[in-house]
Chains A and B, each alone.
Chain A
């Protein structure tokens, strides 16, 4: 699978790249919302993991743009914010799965496998 990981948190980016890369996935990571949008314009990915914390636009602002450019790409959202407002906005736009950080690696792998299964 071709997976994009976007987060301003360098440690999280590296650990997700390591985790997802183990299962023969091709993983690209970026801290910036602009690069995330540029990659979305470039072509379809099999899944996009988007942290609310991004450099530039935050993930909640980038989400509807991403959805409009690539409506079929499953988005896995990560947030440290458990507030109703953020949860409501993410749910309204519609994502495949929403994790509240810290993310449990085995849960994330399960969701990514589900994305792969849904895409087949």
Chain B
């Protein structure tokens, strides 16, 4: 599983990479929104973990673009902001999960593993997707 981690916070980026070492095979870390978008345009990633503080555009600005470029790639957002407004914006932007820092490593690992299993299952079983427009 290929994971990309984006955060302007060097220590946090390294810490998240360390936590996910056992889950992902190829982990890449970037600090800037531009690097993140370029990376997902150049290569396939199974999942992204991003913080809201990124170099260049903020995570909140980057998230909807990320989801438009790679709609199927699950995105997990980490932030120190626990406000309902930011939380709402993050989910509206297309994030799968939102974790308030400080991070609880087992919770992140289980969220990442579940997200990837779900994506793999959907890929292997396309008929499992809900198709409300086919329901009569």
Contact = CB atoms under 8 A, between A and B. Distances in A.
Interface of A: 32-34, 37-38, 41, 56-58, 61-62, 64-65, 68-69
Chain B interface size band reads 10 to 19
A74 to B, nearest CB: 20
A58 B55 CA distance: 10
Q: Which of A34, A41, A58, A68 has most B Cβ within 10 Å?
A: A34
Contacts, number: 42
A61 B32 contact: yes
A57 B57 contact: yes
B38 interface: yes
A118 to B, nearest CB: 25
A70 B95 CA distance: 25
Interface of A is mostly: helix
Given A33-B57, A34-B57, A61 B34 contact: yes
Contact of A41 (B32, B33, B68): B68
Nearest to B36: A65
B56 A37 contact: no
Interface in B44-63: 56-58, 61-62
B122 to A, nearest CB: 23
A64 B38 contact: yes
A69 B41 contact: yes
Contact of A65 (B37, B58, B61, B64): B37
Given A33-B57, A34-B65, A41-B69, A62 B34 contact: yes
Contacts of A37: 37, 65
